[in-house]
Structure 1
Amino acid sequence: MATQKPIAKTNAGSIVQATIHQIKLPDLKDVLAKGIDDFMAHPTHLIFLIAIYPILTFVFAFTAANESMLPLVFPLLAGFTLLGPLVASGMYEISRRRERGEPVSRWHVFAVLKTPAILSLATLGVASLAIYLVWLGAALSLYTLIFGDAVPATVGEFARQVLTTGEGWILIVAGSAVGLVFAVAALSISAVSFPLLLDRDVGAAVAVFISVRVVVENPITMAFWGAIVVASLLVACLPVFTGLAVALPVLGHATWHLYRKAVEF
């Protein structure tokens, strides 16, 4: 079943018509299987390891040197779920090429930099980064509201403060609720907008409009998809973050196939 074609104008003034298909839970299993298949055919884990570890090293070194950053450790790391669609843009390009039977290698992850839609992708990337930064600000404000300006001197003291006090559990519950709001916003605007722009340069605004329509038309399925993404990234972080080198590419490839199932031009 498909919804009536939503109509919007691109930056050039042309009319875009896209059919939003109903996607079911079994479709998520299918897109994940295709994502794994794409990754196995063209593994990019070494590229992601080269990119991920310097970033994580910087985050931890900066946090260790600045005790005032301790309350932001979780929001900083959780930012992978908000920035993931942007980071995985190269995976969409590999899946797109493979689907079309075009020559493809792991190094085509960088071909996204040459796409005609690079400005639209950059615009969406800035929007995702803005959501991330606002979330960090909200997290810090919430911590200050509950605990005041005093900042724990060590990681152990911070853990005790959060896990063994009533105020700490208020922070956990309230912080999770605030994080959920930002996660839903990020999911809505980026569910399929990044791969859509690689497929068709309709402009950032139209891509976001269609992405939101996909989420609105498939709320339960997309909620499950969001949960799968968060759970996968959480598990991937456990073995010293090395799992991210597999989880991020697989989820990126799967997102391309999710877009192809959900949107038809």
Structure 2
Amino acid sequence: MAAPLAHDPVPGASVPPNTPESGHAPDSAEASRLRLAPLHFSDPWRWLARGAADLIAAPGIALFYGVCFWGMALLLGWVFRSNPEYTMSIASGCLLLGPFLAMGLYDASRRRELGLKPELGRSIVCWDQHMGSMAMLVLVLMVLELIWGRASLVVFAVFFNTGMPSTTGVIQAVFNPENWEFVAVYTVVGGIFASLVFSIAVVSIPMILDRDTDAITAAITSIRVVLGHTGVMLFWGALITVLVALALWPWGLGLVLLGPWLGHATWHAYRGAVQWPGSSPASPEPTSTQA
């Protein structure tokens, strides 16, 4: 007789409050009592391992979202090569769509953690119960992205007073040792905005899905996690950056695997960093067994 899979519903198991399965409305006072869990430099590797387990447990869902991420990367690369002046506009669209796609992966990991079977159809529409908070958070991210783009144009204007360089000119400028001052300033400006976006989004979207908190509370909690565990979260961000850079070659094909993998891992990063009142720390990685 086959033993039940770890992600199958567990008979008699209670569903935690503040979840769609429980029908419990979120308590705003509860968010003020959450605690930040202690983190260690080994935790990002644990998040990746648990994300890989989720990916293997629901390969169809992972493939769907992986192809979506890959398509976004191909579109962005094509626009950058053919019409670089529209790159920021397309990037804004990707920034708008990306969090909603990522939320579907968080939903799959969350359901598996609850002992429920992940479902593609449910993951696609899981954001509809959190539209208000998601819209506000995405708006904040888009404003930051637009300011980031404007700051980048200012840097180009300062160092290239003859006009905005073409795509080839940008690549040549970046790899030209004589333009080290431009590269340094551009890197610092980009790093500041990238850090802001990362700090706001690193656990906020999983938190909105999990507890239906408002965007401001979720963003502040996310920033608290980064400020409270700066070293670990910088390591996590650097690890994500390196993995994404490797996945972009060739033709960004690696995003088909890496996109959903990081999505699942981000859910576990949230569960490992944030503890709610009355809840226990994140449970050990679920495993699937058969007799």
SS in structure 1 at match of 2:42: helix
Contact 2:203 2:270 (C-alpha < 8 Å) held by counterparts: yes
1:3 aligned partner: none
In structure 1, runs of 5+ residues without a counterpart are 1-10
Number of residues paired by the alignment?
A: 250
**Cα gap change, 1:219/1:79 in structure 2, threshold over 3 Å: closer, same or farther?**
farther
Which residue of the partner structure matches residue 36 of structure 1?
52
CA shift at 1:118, angstroms?
Answer: 2.2
Q: Structure 2: how far apart are the matches of 1:154 and 1:216?
A: 36
Provide the alpha-carbon RMSD of the alignment: 3.0
Structure with greater helix percent: 1
Does structure 1 residue 102 correspond to structure 2 residue 116? yes
- 1:59 equivalent to 2:76? Answer yes
Question: Counterparts of 2:145 and 2:97 in 1: how far apart (Å)?
Answer: 8
User: Which of 4, 22, 25 lines up with 2:38 in the alignment?
Assistant: 22
Residue 146 of structure 1 corresponds to which residue in structure 2?
159
Moved over 6 A (4+): 75-83
Change (3 A) 1:199 1:84: same
Matches of 1:105 and 1:13 in 2, distance apart?
Answer: 29
TM-score where L is the length of structure 1: 0.82
Alpha-carbon distance between aligned partners in 1 of 2:71 and 2:42, rounded to the nearest angstrom: 37
The question of whether the paired residues in 2 share the 8 Å contact of 1:233 and 1:244 is answered with yes
Cα distance per residue 1:90-137 (max 9 Å; x no partner): 1110000000011213443303233x3221012111211222222111
Alignment of 1:219-234 (within 5 A): 219-234=230-245
In structure 2, the residue corresponding to 1:88 is in which secondary structure?
helix
Structure 2, unmatched stretches of 5+, are 1-25, 277-291
State the distance in 2 between where 1:130 and 1:52 align: 22
Displacement, 1:64?
A: 4.1
Q: Distance in 1 between matches of 2:27 and 2:46?
A: 35
* Residues 82 and 171 of structure 1: CA distance in aligned 2, closer, same or farther (over 3 Å): farther
Contact kept, 8 Å, 2:74 with 2:251, in 1: the verdict is no
1:46 partnered with 2:46 = no
Residue in structure 2 matching 1:162, options 165, 169, 174 = 174
Percent same amino acid at aligned positions?
30
